[in-house]
Structure 1
Amino acid sequence: MKMTIKEVAKEAGVSISTVSRVLNGRDRVSRHTINRVRAVIEKLQFQPDFVARTMIMKKTSTIGLIVPQLSNEYWALMSEVIQDALWMRGYTTLICSTDNEPDKDEAYLKMCLERRMDGVIYCSSPYCGPEARDGLDAIKEAGVPLVSLDPNIAGVSCVVGDHLQGTLTAVEHLIRAGYARIAYIGGPAVSIEREFGYRKALMMHGYRVDEGLIRLVKGQSFADGHEGLRALRSSGLAFDALFCGNDLLAFGAIKAMEEAGIRVPEDVAVVGYDDIFSARLFKPALTTVRQPIPDIGEELVQLLLASLETEPERRTVRKIVLPTELIVRESSGAALRQGAEARR
């Protein structure tokens, strides 16, 4: 038979309200009473009614986290960082992976509202569609604290990596190594600032932006990178370097080149973005732009908690931009080029 809070109170010799205060961590209960009530709870194996407790407290201690794709190592690690940071602060996390599908985006946002999540961290597609915007608007109108990673959502605090500068640094690295025909694989599933940075770097160094060397793919997966590289090759345009919007795209592109007998970096240099753990294990080890994932996750949690502690009408919108770092490894061929220059 399931124990009730009334039976716990009777066994402990206290009022029901005292048991409730102990369960909810409220003040005005002596240490002696707390220990007695907890001992009875353990003895009777009492389990609080979550739904009733939520209705009374108007709090679930649960945060909704919406990400595009948990099969992507970047998002898996980001989810783990955020979940751990919230756990340390007394919150559980409901992680929802949309697989970049608009209907899932909409459904998960609606679910966060229906299940009375205390807050939402939105990390889905950087430029979300109308379905997601409707769901985000509903969350904002309900006064539920909301923060985002990368998506540009009006009236919502966000954390972003400095993608423009990160890409400028990556493409300039290729230019300084002597590459002149630099292609790009990206698309709407990665920040558009990475494409802007690619274009800007070329123009700043006097290179013409060849639209034929730009391939925009739907997603951000290995398969998308593979498809993008095959499309680049089918254009017949020559290129000696490739910048990809994330590491998985780079991995897929390198695999497609390997299948076509193109060597990396001897024939084509490659640079990715994110610096997921696999980047250092891949062959050749991937040159990439490192995002500070632990810092991003911590900043998102701090932004959300600050919003939780503030009345909706008094919340301010903040944008936190975190620096990136170029990590030079084998795939960009810098050492290869330097060695060739030294032998001349």
Structure 2
Amino acid sequence: MKSTIKEVAKEAGVSISTVSRVINGRDRVSKSTLNKVRRAIDKLKFHPDHTARAMINKKTQTIGLLVPELSNEFWSLLSKIVQDECWSNGYTTLICSTDNRTDKEKAYLKMFIERRMDGIIYCASPDDPTDMQEQMEMLRNSGIPLVMLDKSMPGVSSVVGDHLHGSLTAVEHLIRLGNRRIAYIGGPAVSIEREFGYRKALMMHGLNVDEALIRLVQGQTFSDGYGALTVLLELGVMFDALFCGNDLLALGAIKALEQAGIRVPEEVAVVGYDDIFSASLFKPALTTVRQPITDIGKELVSLLFQSVEQLSENRSARKIVIPTELIVRESSGVERNEIVQP
């Protein structure tokens, strides 16, 4: 039978309020009293009712983190950074992966609200603006502090990568190497600004944006990149370079090129995006646009806790832009005066 706080107080010879102060870490109690209460808790195997405490204190000490998928190194590492940052601030993290599915996203957000999360870090969102509006309305009505990654909404704090500049830099690198038929693999699962940067770079350099060179996929996995590149080859589309919306797409595409007997970078130069750990281990090592993932995770948590500590009517939205950096390795070839990085 489950022990009660009343039984703990009786065993320790103190009042119920003293036991409560020890459990909640509020107010100072003498060391001897603290030890008596802890011994009583251990002896009776007492476990506080966290749900009841949350209702009373209006805090669960839990943050909800929503990501598109955990099989991608970028999202798994970001989840760990966020979890560690929250832990150092006295909070646990409930991590949910949507697998890029809107139905899962809605269900998880509803669960975050029902479980009274103290804050939500929102890294996954539908491509459909109607679905996005529905999600935002649900979150606004809940009053739970919210921070978003790579999405900007009125009244909501966000951390965004400088993806337009990052992708533009990547494509310009390919152009400077003499490539003129540059393909792109991306889709709704990666920031639309990466496609915009691709298109902008081509237009800035007087190159035609050939829609036949653009393959948009629903996911962001190795197999998605492999499949998209296979389709390009089957269609007989000619290209001398490839820019991908993330590294897994790029690595999958390189595998498909190799299996088709096409050498990278001698025949097709390839650039990815994110700089996941595998990018430097792959052969050829992947040229990519690096996002400082540790900075991103820390900024997300910092912005969220600023909101958590404020009353809802006093919260002000902030936007943090994270710079990106081109990391040149083997898969793209090297411009004169460039240094190949590990």
Pick closer, same or farther for the CA change 1:338–1:305 going to 2, 3 Å: closer
Q: What amino acid sits opposite 2:199 in the alignment?
A: R
| Rounded Cα–Cα distance in structure 2 between residues aligned with 1:130 and 1:104 | 16
What's the offset of the Cα at 1:30?
3.4
| Rounded Cα–Cα distance in structure 1 between residues aligned with 2:266 and 2:237 | 18
| RMSD between superposed Cα atoms in Å | 1.8
Deviations along 1:140-199, one digit per CA (max 9) or x if unpaired, are 212101111112333211111111111111111111122111111111110011011111
* Equivalent position of 1:342 in the other structure: none
| Rounded Cα–Cα distance in structure 1 between residues aligned with 2:75 and 2:152 | 18
* Equivalent position of 1:116 in the other structure: 116
DSSP 3-state at the match of 2:331: helix
DSSP 3-state at the match of 1:236: coil
Pick closer, same or farther for the CA change 1:212–1:246 going to 2, 3 Å: same
Please say if 1:134 is aligned against 2:134.
yes
Please say if 1:282 is aligned against 2:275.
no
| Rounded Cα–Cα distance in structure 2 between residues aligned with 1:71 and 1:319 | 28
* Equivalent position of 1:175 in the other structure: 175
* Equivalent position of 2:157 in the other structure: 157
What's the offset of the Cα at 1:230?
2.0
* Equivalent position of 2:64 in the other structure: 64
Deviations along 1:191-237, one digit per CA (max 9) or x if unpaired, are 01101111111122222222221111111111211121122223333
Q: What amino acid sits opposite 2:63 in the alignment?
A: I
| Rounded Cα–Cα distance in structure 1 between residues aligned with 2:116 and 2:240 | 52
Please say if 1:24 is aligned against 2:14.
no
| Rounded Cα–Cα distance in structure 2 between residues aligned with 1:71 and 1:38 | 41
* Aligned partners of 1:244 and 1:250 also within 8 Å: yes
* Aligned partners of 2:65 and 2:96 also within 8 Å: yes
Question: Structure 1: any 5+ residue segments left out of the alignment?
Answer: 340-344
* Match runs of 1:1-344 below 5 Å: 1-125=1-125, 127=127, 130-334=130-334
Q: What's the % identity of the aligned pairs? A: 70
DSSP 3-state at the match of 2:242: strand
Give the count of matched residue pairs.
Answer: 338
Q: What amino acid sits opposite 2:220 in the alignment?
A: Q
Query: TM-score of the superposition, structure 1-length normalised?
Result: 0.94
* Aligned partners of 1:109 and 1:132 also within 8 Å: no
What's the offset of the Cα at 1:299?
0.5
| Rounded Cα–Cα distance in structure 2 between residues aligned with 1:81 and 1:31 | 35
Pick closer, same or farther for the CA change 1:35–1:327 going to 2, 3 Å: same
Larger displacement relative to structure 2 (77-86 or 25-34): 25-34
DSSP 3-state at the match of 2:121: strand
Larger displacement relative to structure 2 (98-107 or 227-236): 227-236
Deviations along 1:76-125, one digit per CA (max 9) or x if unpaired, are 11111111111111111111111001100110011101111111111103
Larger displacement relative to structure 2 (146-155 or 58-67): 146-155
DSSP 3-state at the match of 1:215: strand
Deviations along 1:35-78, one digit per CA (max 9) or x if unpaired, are 33223222332211122222221111111111101111111111
What's the offset of the Cα at 1:129?
5.0
| Rounded Cα–Cα distance in structure 2 between residues aligned with 1:191 and 1:224 | 16
Pick closer, same or farther for the CA change 1:129–1:70 going to 2, 3 Å: farther
* Aligned partners of 1:63 and 1:121 also within 8 Å: yes
Q: What amino acid sits opposite 2:229 in the alignment?
A: L
What's the offset of the Cα at 1:296?
0.4
What's the offset of the Cα at 1:338?
8.5
What's the offset of the Cα at 1:33?
2.6
Pick closer, same or farther for the CA change 1:12–1:92 going to 2, 3 Å: same
Deviations along 1:229-272, one digit per CA (max 9) or x if unpaired, are 12222333311110000001101111111121111111100000
| Rounded Cα–Cα distance in structure 2 between residues aligned with 1:92 and 1:63 | 6
* Aligned partners of 2:166 and 2:326 also within 8 Å: yes
Q: What amino acid sits opposite 1:157 in the alignment?
A: S
* Aligned partners of 2:102 and 2:125 also within 8 Å: no
| Rounded Cα–Cα distance in structure 2 between residues aligned with 1:52 and 1:315 | 27
Q: What amino acid sits opposite 1:17 in the alignment?
A: S
Pick closer, same or farther for the CA change 1:252–1:111 going to 2, 3 Å: same
